[in-house]
Structure 1
Amino acid sequence: MKNERPLWRGRPRQGLMLRGADILMVPFSLVWGSFAMFWEYTVISSDAPLLFRVWGIPFVLVGLYMIAGRFFVDARQRANTEYVVTSDSIIIRYGIFRRKEQILSLRELSDFSLTENRNGEGSITFGVSAAGNVFSGLASWPGVEDVPRFDCIANVRKVYDIIRNAHYAAGHTRPFGQRLG
């Protein structure tokens, strides 16, 4: 927009990290990966037919991704992510293999919510996911689009208030947004 001005710019927390959903995902990934590796070891060491040997490889790869790979993918995704709030829009720049950009108009934004933890870090979600926010903390599967959000940002309440005020200034009759957490 012509008179658009930046109000805030930031990045998600960097590095490897655990999320709340890992309470379920870590044990599940260990069971999956262990079984897949056991299967593959058993068919290779027992001289099983080629079909059985090949059949287990995708399951082993998925298991390795769930056990460890997803943490590195998540860290890399966050390292390549930038968030911007302007007087007219929300901008999310991200991408591991190619740069993508999402621009959300504050004027058209209908729903956003805040999730904050005790240390002031949290997420702001723009819209509602079909599955809810139960697993929103997991690194998404590559190629799967998530509901747009500012993820793992410091001083999230301050950023939320900036967005809420800009949303109001963009033409909404009252400040909007729901606080969670």
Structure 2
Amino acid sequence: MSKGKKLRDDLQRALLPDERVLWSGEPYRGLIFRPIEAFLIPFSLLWAGFAVFWNFSVWSADQDAAALPFKLFGLPFLVVGLYVTFGRFFIDVWLRRRLQYAVTNRRILIYKKGGTATSKSVDIRHLPSIELSERSDGSGSIRFGQPASLFSGQNFGLWQPTFDATAQFLRIPNVRFVYELIHKQTER
């Protein structure tokens, strides 16, 4: 059984009685660069560059064992710098490979397969605002609700879209069709 078939079977088990799937799909599998990356990439390069410089300077200097806490202080900054510069892209790709999306006659479903399978659903009759972002190739994203404020402490999705607290279909093909299908369901 293929991975895609297994994921679809798992999604079927998440359905409620009398619920039927009108559309299902998966997000884009490759790297996603969003407009915000024009800010995030230079910032992450500065952060990581300083963290590498700091750690190299401290660890290569002649110091005694008493300076060990000072040396260890820079390591978390180095780890964060490497994550925001490179790691977040690869973790995002890895997480999106485990996602399955569905529009049913009753809900919007986002199903994530993994060690602990999770699903997020939004009642289609009580959808918050719907935001469509469409690319020239017809793919795009649909966000169900407003993004968290930058200063709320809940917007890690700024750095990594799969961690966004707001339910969304990330970079799906033929996004306009799915968007219109959702609107037709909300009118019923």
TM range (shorter): 0.7 to 0.9
* Equivalence map 1:7-22=2 (5 Å): 7-22=22-37
Q: 2:43 corresponds to which letter in structure 1?
A: F
Preserved CA contact (<8 Å) 1:91 1:101:
yes
Distance 1:137 1:39 in 2: 26
Any unmatched runs of 5+ in structure 1?
170-181
> Which of 16, 28, 49 is the equivalent residue of 1:34?
49
Deviation at 1:22, TM superposition (A): 1.3
Distance 1:9 1:137 in 2: 26
Residue matched to 1:175 = none
Distance 1:118 1:137 in 2: 23
Preserved CA contact (<8 Å) 1:76 1:96:
no
Any unmatched runs of 5+ in structure 2?
1-15, 151-155
Distance 2:43 2:123 in 1: 39
* Equivalence map 1:1-181=2 (5 Å): 1-48=16-63, 49-94=67-112, 98-131=116-149, 138-140=159-161, 145-169=164-188
Q: Matched residues, percent identical?
A: 37
Q: 1:74 corresponds to which letter in structure 2?
A: D
Q: 1:167 corresponds to which letter in structure 2?
A: T
Preserved CA contact (<8 Å) 2:158 2:164:
no
Preserved CA contact (<8 Å) 1:127 1:147:
yes
Deviation at 1:16, TM superposition (A): 2.4
Distance 1:44 1:30 in 2: 21
Distance 1:12 1:29 in 2: 25
Distance 1:64 1:17 in 2: 18
Q: 2:40 corresponds to which letter in structure 1?
A: M
CA RMSD, aligned part only? Answer: 2.2
Count of matched residue positions in the alignment of Structure 1 and Structure 2: 166
SS at structure 2 position matched to 1:4: coil
Please give the per-residue CA displacement for 1:53-101, whole angstroms capped at 9, x wherever unaligned. Answer: 1000000000000111001011011101110000000000126653210
Q: 1:155 corresponds to which letter in structure 2?
A: N
| TM-score, length of structure 1 as denominator length | 0.83
Deviation at 1:106, TM superposition (A): 0.8
Deviation at 1:15, TM superposition (A): 2.1
